[in-house]
Amino acid sequence: METFINWFLEFNRFSALAGSLYFIFFIRDKKHTTVLVFIILVCSLLADNLNYFFVRIYSNSFIVSNSWYIANFIVSLILFQHLLKSRKFLISLLITVFFIGSILSFTYFFKLTESNTFIRLFSNSTFIFLSLAFYLELLKKPDGRLRKHPYFWIASSFFIYNSVLLLQSLFKNFLIFDLQISKAAYAWILFISLSANITKNFILFYALVLIDKGYPDTLKPKSAKA
């Protein structure tokens, strides 16, 4: 099991590479949406690899993961402003609350080298909520071609990833300290979180391909290019 997890960790480290390279070498019309998705993928790629090396050198990678949560939250919310144009005020408010909350939490409750529960739970909950809000918007404008709708896949990547991480954040301490699960059992928890990250990165890659192929990167459906 340990060998498999180590292999999976290696795969996870580079799971955002495919989408990043596709954006650089194949997307000629670099729209605002694709640029934001590219930034999210690059941040994920950097964070996954920096986490890997920090754990091995310093045995603590929280400074990397905390920094990634902050950067990813801001860029991802800007992306959701395009997915949910009618919710721009709400999204601006969420950025403000997150920014103030992050400053207060790091000032009074957490160090940069500790897992910041506030930014993790707030970030995960926010993107689950916004993804569901986007699904409701889609229901108001049924398309019938969701498999070819880039924004649907972008929202789905956030929903899947953040749902898994939220559950992990809520139950991780309980499982480890209260139930005192074995190392082998914890490996499965790690496997699930890595799977969520890999899934998110490849779904975003797929969304980039759809936009590049001419499918609409707006909520209102349009015909795909021939």
pLDDT digits (tens, 9 = 90+) for 43-94: 999 988 888 888 778 777 778 888 888 899 999 999 998 888 888 888 888 8
Answer yes or no: is pLDDT of 185 > 90: no
Residue 116 · residue 66 · CB < 8 Å: yes
The domain segmentation of the chain, as residue ranges, is 2-212
| Residue 143 scores a pLDDT above 70 | no
Pick from 159-163, 185-189, 219-223 the range whose average pLDDT is largest: 159-163
Interval 102-114 mean pLDDT: 83
Residue 222's pLDDT is: 43
The predicted model scores a pTM of: 0.85
Torsion sign, CA atoms 69, 52, 40, 63: positive
Residue 198: pLDDT band (50, 70, 90) is very high
198 close to 13: Cβ distance less than 8 angstroms: no
Average pLDDT value for residue range 125-149: 83
Give the lowest-confidence range in 79-83, 176-180, 207-211: 176-180
The strand ranges marked E within the chain are none
CA distances from 41 to 51, 61, 75 (A): 15, 19, 11
Backbone angles phi, psi at 206, to 5 degrees: -60, -40
Q: Does domain 2-212 have CATH number 1.20.1070?
A: yes
In this predicted structure, what is the pLDDT of residue 224? 38
Question: From CA 203, how far away is CA 20, in angstroms rounded?
Answer: 12
Q: What's the chain's average pLDDT?
A: 82
Q: Does residue 99 have a pLDDT over 90?
A: no
User: Mind giving me the DSSP string for 129-188?
Assistant: HHHHHHHHHHHHS--S-GGG-HHHHHHHHHHHHHHHHHHHHHHHHIIIIIS---HHHHHH
pLDDT band at 9 (very low <50, low <70, confident <90, very high): confident
